[in-house]
């Protein structure tokens, strides 16, 4: 039997409304329209690498890379107080970018793949507070690079952002140009969103930026932030970066000082990743005692977006039984990582 339509609910959507008006009405009614936010980890919930980092590049919050450009800053995940009412209560975390020595272009960057999918009107929204750089505001830019062999990139938005000590929601209308006649290489093309100290602002004054709820969606109306489960957000992040301990990895001894194992990534990665493997210090034979290892080398082979073979060898101590299987039970601090970031 077909379920009857709730006409009283649907009547709230105005007849003859524009696409953006209908979109906003449907959002207000709580109807699930499918995934709308193109920004991954917009709620700042996932941090596979570390709680914070103070060096250029990726290092703490997934999908956000930091540029220093001669400045000094720390990016970190911070907690929102349960029950706070400054922003919607479902938010649990925010990014803090604490710059102790400013310089031009010091800030954060977020990259979205497949620029061939962005055309026409979009809207960027987020919550932010903090203190402004020396010039009195941040630069906020959106840039599309069409990849190797692609057409010349474009800057759909170059503007400024001025924050206060109180949380505010900001919305930015962005119009991506027509793709007609353009050549786009999605393999390494990107759309980058960055908030930074402006290019002409070389002041060294300290500043801080707190930000969360980053969302980029189709249309010109900013709707409520799309909260995804932690598991779903983690899986989206793992397309670009994956980190895990050795614990539980099955290894086979092919020589007295060599073991080989296979890693299967939890999701298909964006491209063939770069693997970094730290040598385990302890492995356990299924029916015998632990084998304690020291020194050694780690090598990888047969790497695809789905799997990689890992070999540990040349241990300075610890002898293995050839053809026997082992399980790695290395203490925390030894990891295998796969990096396919943009």
pLDDT at 3: 38
- Alpha carbon of 18 to those of 25, 27, 123, 240: distances in Å? 10, 14, 16, 37
pLDDT at 33: 58
pLDDT at 332: 65
- CA 41 to chain CA centroid, Å, is 5
Beta-carbon contacts of residue 2 (< 8 Å; ≥ 6 apart): none
Q: Low-confidence residues of the chain, pLDDT below 70?
A: 1-34, 286-289, 331-332
pLDDT at 34: 67
β-pair type (93-101, 290-292): unpaired
pLDDT at 25: 60
For the CA atoms of 112, 219, 233, 113, the dihedral, rounded to the nearest 10 degrees, stands at: -20
Exposed (0-12), middle (13-18) or buried (19+): which is 84, by Cβ within 10 Å? Answer: exposed
pLDDT at 215: 98
Is-contact 316 261, C-beta < 8 A? no
pLDDT at 341: 98
Beta-carbon contacts of residue 12 (< 8 Å; ≥ 6 apart): 25, 28, 29
- Alpha carbon of 154 to those of 157, 255, 290: distances in Å? 9, 55, 58
- Alpha carbon of 39 to those of 77, 164, 211: distances in Å? 17, 24, 14
Beta-carbon contacts of residue 160 (< 8 Å; ≥ 6 apart): 137, 138, 139, 140, 198
The count of other CB atoms within 10 Å of the CB of residue 283 is: 25
Domain boundaries, the chain: 15-229, 241-339
Could you tell me which CATH number the domain at 15-229 has? 2.60.120.260
Class of domain 241-339: mainly beta
- This prediction has a pTM of 0.90
Predicted confidence (pLDDT) per residue in 36-54, tens digit: 999 999 999 999 999 999 9
pLDDT at 124: 98
């Amino acid at each position: 039997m077909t379920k009857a339509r709730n006409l009283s609910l649907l009547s709230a959507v105005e007849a003859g409304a524009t696409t953006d008006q209908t979109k906003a009405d449907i959002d207000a009614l709580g109807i699930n329209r499918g995934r709308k936010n193109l920004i991954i980890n917009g709620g700042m919930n996932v941090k596979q690498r570390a709680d914070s980092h103070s060096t250029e590049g990726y290092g703490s919050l997934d999908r956000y890379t930091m540029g220093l450009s001669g400045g000094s800053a720390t990016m970190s995940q911070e907690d929102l107080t349960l029950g706070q009412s400054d922003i919607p209560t479902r938010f649990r975390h925010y990014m803090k970018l604490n710059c102790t020595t400013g310089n031009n272009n010091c800030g954060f960057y977020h990259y979205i793949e497949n620029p061939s999918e962005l055309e026409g009107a979009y809207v960027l929204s987020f919550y932010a507070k903090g203190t402004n750089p020396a010039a009195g505001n941040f630069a906020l830019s959106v840039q599309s690079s069409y990849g190797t062999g692609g057409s010349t990139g474009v800057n759909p938005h170059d503007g400024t952002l001025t924050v206060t000590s109180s949380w505010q929601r900001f919305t930015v209308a962005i119009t991506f140009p027509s793709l007609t006649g353009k050549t786009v290489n999605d393999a390494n093309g990107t759309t980058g969103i960055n908030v930074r100290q402006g290019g002409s602002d070389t002041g060294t004054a300290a500043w801080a930026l707190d930000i969360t709820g980053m969302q980029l969606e189709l249309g010109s109306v900013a709707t409520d932030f799309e909260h995804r489960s932690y598991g779903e957000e983690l899986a989206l992040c793992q397309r670009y970066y994956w980190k895990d301990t050795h614990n539980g990895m099955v290894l086979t001894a092919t020589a007295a000082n060599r073991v080989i194992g296979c890693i299967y990534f939890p999701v298909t990665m964006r491209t063939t990743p770069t693997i970094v493997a730290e040598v385990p210090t302890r492995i356990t034979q299924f029916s015998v005692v632990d084998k304690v290892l020291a020194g050694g080398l780690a090598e990888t082979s047969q790497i695809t977006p789905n799997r990689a073979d890992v070999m540990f060898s040349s241990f300075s101590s610890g002898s293995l039984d050839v053809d026997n299987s082992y399980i790695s039970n290395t203490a925390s601090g030894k990891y295998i990582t796969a990096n396919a970031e943009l």
